[in-house]
Amino acid sequence: MLADAIVGLKEIGMGGAELRVIDGKNIMDLTDDQLQQAKDKLDDAGLRVISIASPVLKCVLPNAPEVDERFGHDAFASKHTFEDQPRLIERAFYIAHFFGAKILRVFSYWRTKKPEICLESIVEALSQLAFLRDKEVVVIGLENEHACNIGTASETALALEYIRHPNLKVVWDPANALVAGEDPFPGGYSLLPKGRIAHVHAKDCHMHAGQPVWGPLGTRSVRWKEQIAALKADGYEGYLSLETHWPGPGGNKFEASRICGWNLRGLASGS
């Protein structure tokens, strides 16, 4: 529940929130009244909305190669299709403006067995988003998502080479790159244009039998201490956004978020 999340955020000392699911519903599916209720709670708590974690382009690309079923499709209460995208995009920008968020997260369609064949369609879709909002203050943040066609830093860097528009930037997720089979740091990170990193997602895991095993932030295979130090050295001024995938002790995901939040605060302050 949002009220519980706000308590946890304030306890840890976090100053912003990224909105994806509120009270069991994807942010895209909330009514205007429900959006206003959420905004009132966040405003009262003094929490800034930094990003709208939309599911834009998190769907099957028509006439593309077969979807790679090795990757789970974690849609976070979102079941939108390719046909839904025009409506979804307009709603996403409306919500970003409503909350004053400067970043709108987007994806690159569910990953296929030949993601390179999808690059042209992805570039076209992302270019349209970037140029559509040419004069807007909202940044299009492409997340590298292991379950989507752009999952690694190398794939991200290639897409950015094709789209030089300054309004398209990166939501860098090192753990997603790890799951996609890439060394996220220093390998993957070294490939990214540092000035186009708009946002960073923080979670942690190690791989076992080809599958991620999520755990407390800073205790698994992502070299978070070094990654955060490199971001700081490279002039990154955005947020580190906690994205808890670890189920937590006894399956208590709220407690997992608290633990990971404190770990993130310690890593950030010590880098």
235 within domain boundaries? yes
Indicate yes or no: pTM above 0.85: yes
Instruction: Please return the burial class of 132, using the count of CB atoms within 10 Å of its CB with bins 0-12, 13-18 and 19+.
Output: middle
Give the DSSP letter of residue 215: -
Where would I find the H helices in 84-118? Answer: 85-99
On whether residue 71 sits in a domain, the answer given is yes
pLDDT digits (tens, 9 = 90+) for 18-58: 999 999 999 999 999 999 999 999 999 999 999 999 999 99
Residue 134 predicted with pLDDT over 80:
no
Contact predicate 168/129, CB 8 Å: yes
Residue 144 lies in a domain: yes
181: in domain: yes
* Cα torsion 197, 203, 208, 211: sign: negative
Q: What is the CATH number of the domain that holds 237?
A: 3.20.20.150
**pLDDT at residue 77 tops 70:** no
Nearest to 175 by CA among 229, 128, 227: 227
pLDDT at 120: 97
Q: What is the DSSP letter of 67?
A: B
Encoded tokens for 90: 């307009």
Q: Judge whether 253 lies within some domain.
A: yes
Task: Extract the tokens encoding 147.
Answer: 């379950």
**Residue pLDDT, tens place only, 169-225:** 999 999 999 999 999 999 999 999 999 999 999 999 999 999 999 999 999 999 999
Q: For residue 257, what pLDDT is reported?
A: 95
- The whole domain housing 205 covers 50-270
What lies within 8 Å, CB to CB, of 164 at 6+ separation is none
Number of domains in the chain: 1
User: By C-alpha distance, which of 139, 115, 143 is closest to 129?
Assistant: 139
Q: What is the DSSP letter of 186?
A: I
Residue 194: inside a domain: yes
Residue 271: predicted pLDDT = 64
Answer whether residue 134 is part of any domain.
Answer: yes
